[in-house]
């Protein structure tokens, strides 16, 4: 099974498992995170577990918009990392968080392909039918899809691409479409393009961030986890040097820093 196919299957299995699993002596938390964080967050969680081996930390990756809806409906999540800071701020406004929304990164979007030299492509080139289908995340609930549509519209190619666009439920599935050849080019997260699996399979072209609204990302501790010490400890770990170094390595700009 392809890496991103495994990711999507694992997310569904993890959601079913964590809902009824008992807490361990060291505490337990369930984190839901935007799919662009998959590789960076896996490393951050591994570093946190190295310091807290007695704790259980479960992570589910997917669409920021869908997680927002699930939390509003009472889903048992303790921390929520969104690719669009507006989603956790909306939860905060509805009294569903244990504190204020915390900015944690600014994301970037890129053109990526495993069959074409994406390093030489521009958004204008996507109008060429020879490139095949173009994959983006679903703009209705995936922040990276929203920014992809904005950039394509700003570049004047959105209308020309109608009929050739395929939409992933989240940015990981979008990358999977391109990786498996179901799309010729994708607009995906820089953080995914920098992962060794994708970096070895193809190159990328960084999209000018002036063409879309900033991908300001934020997280919250949910109201459910207000008294969960482990949730607060993990939130503090995200502000530490080890987590920040990992985020930087995956192409994220950190709060207060300029986007790359």
- Read off the CATH number of the domain in which 60 is found: 3.40.190.10
d(CA 215, CA 237): 22
- Domain with 16, as residue range(s), is 3-106+214-249
Among 84, 80, 76, 60, which residue's Cα sits nearest to residue 7?
Answer: 60
Note whether 140 and 191 are same-domain residues: yes
The predicted model gives 16-30 an average pLDDT of 60
Do the bridges between strand 28-34 and strand 79-82 make them parallel or antiparallel, or are there none, so unpaired? parallel
* pLDDT at 203 (0 to 100): 92
Total domains in the fold of the chain: 2
Percent of the chain with pLDDT over 90: 86
pTM: 0.84
In a shared domain, residues 70 and 156: no
> Using one digit for the tens of pLDDT, what is the confidence trace for 112-142?
999 999 999 999 999 999 999 999 999 999 9
Residues 45, 113 within the same domain? no
Q: Is 72 found in the same domain as 29?
A: yes
Which pLDDT score, from 0 to 100, does residue 255 have? 81
Q: What is the pLDDT of residue 25?
A: 52
User: Is residue 93 situated within a structural domain?
Assistant: yes
Q: Which of 135, 120, 121, 229 lies closest to 185, judged by CA?
A: 135
Q: Which helix (H) or strand (E) holds 219?
A: strand 215-221
Residue 256 lies in a domain: no
Residues 85 and 17 in one domain: yes
Q: Is 181 exposed, middle or buried (0-12, 13-18, 19+ CB in 10 A)?
A: exposed
pLDDT at 5 over 60: no
Residue 259 lies in a domain: no
Are 141 and 63 spatial neighbours (Cβ–Cβ below 8 Å)?
yes
What pLDDT, in 10s, does the model give residues 89-101?
999 999 999 999 9
Please check whether residue 146 lies inside any domain of the structure. yes
Determine, yes or no, domain membership for 255: no
Q: Identify whether residues 207 and 230 lie together within a single domain.
A: no
Residues 187 and 155 placed together within one structural domain of the fold: yes
Helix, strand and coil percent figures for the chain, each rounded to 5: 45, 20, 30
Residue 18 scores a pLDDT above 80: no
pLDDT in tens, 194-225: 999 899 999 999 999 999 999 999 999 999 99
Give residue-wise pLDDT tens across range 138-180. Answer: 999 999 999 999 999 999 999 999 999 999 999 999 999 999 9
Residues 57-69, mean pLDDT to the nearest whole number: 96
Which element (helix H / strand E) includes 154? helix 143-154
Same domain, 100 and 222: yes
- Mean pLDDT for the chain? 91
Q: Do residues 90 and 140 both lie within one domain?
A: no
pLDDT above 60 for 4 = no
Q: How confident is the model at residue 2 (pLDDT cuts 50, 70, 90)?
A: low
220, 146: one domain? no
Task: Kindly state whether residues 203 and 223 are assigned to the same domain.
Answer: no
Answer yes or no: is 162 within a domain. yes
Do 87 and 130 belong together in one domain? no
Orientation of helix 38-51 relative to helix 229-238, angle to 10°: 120
The residue ranking higher by pLDDT, 173 or 16, is: 173
**Is residue 258 assigned to a domain?**
no
The SS3 call for residue 132 is: coil
Asked whether residue 254 is domain-assigned, the answer is no
């Amino acid at each position: 099974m392809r890496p991103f196919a495994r990711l999507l299957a694992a997310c569904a299995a993890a959601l079913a498992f964590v809902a009824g699993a008992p807490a361990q002596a060291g505490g337990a938390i369930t984190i839901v995170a935007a799919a662009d964080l998959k590789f960076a967050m896996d490393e951050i969680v591994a570093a946190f577990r190295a310091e807290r081996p007695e704790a259980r930390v479960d992570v589910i990756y997917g669409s920021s918009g869908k997680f927002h809806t699930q939390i509003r409906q009472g889903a048992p999540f303790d921390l929520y990392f969104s690719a669009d800071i507006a989603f956790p701020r909306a939860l905060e406004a509805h009294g569903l968080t244990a504190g204020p929304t915390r900015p944690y990164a600014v994301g970037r979007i890129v053109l990526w392909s495993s069959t074409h030299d994406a390093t030489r492509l521009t958004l204008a080139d996507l109008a060429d039918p020879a490139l095949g289908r173009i994959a983006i995340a679903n703009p209705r609930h995936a922040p990276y899809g929203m920014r992809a549509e904005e950039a394509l519209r700003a570049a004047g190619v959105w209308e020309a691409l109608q009929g050739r666009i395929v939409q992933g439920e989240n940015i990981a599935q979008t990358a999977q479409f391109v990786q498996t050849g179901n799309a010729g080019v994708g607009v995906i997260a820089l953080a995914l393009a920098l992962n060794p699996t994708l970096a070895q399979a193809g190159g990328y072209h960084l999209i000018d961030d002036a063409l879309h609204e900033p991908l300001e990302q934020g997280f919250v501790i949910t109201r459910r986890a207000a008294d969960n010490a482990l949730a607060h400890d993990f939130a503090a770990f995200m502000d530490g040097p080890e987590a920040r170094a990992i985020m930087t390595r995956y192409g994220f700009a950190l709060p207060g820093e300029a986007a790359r």
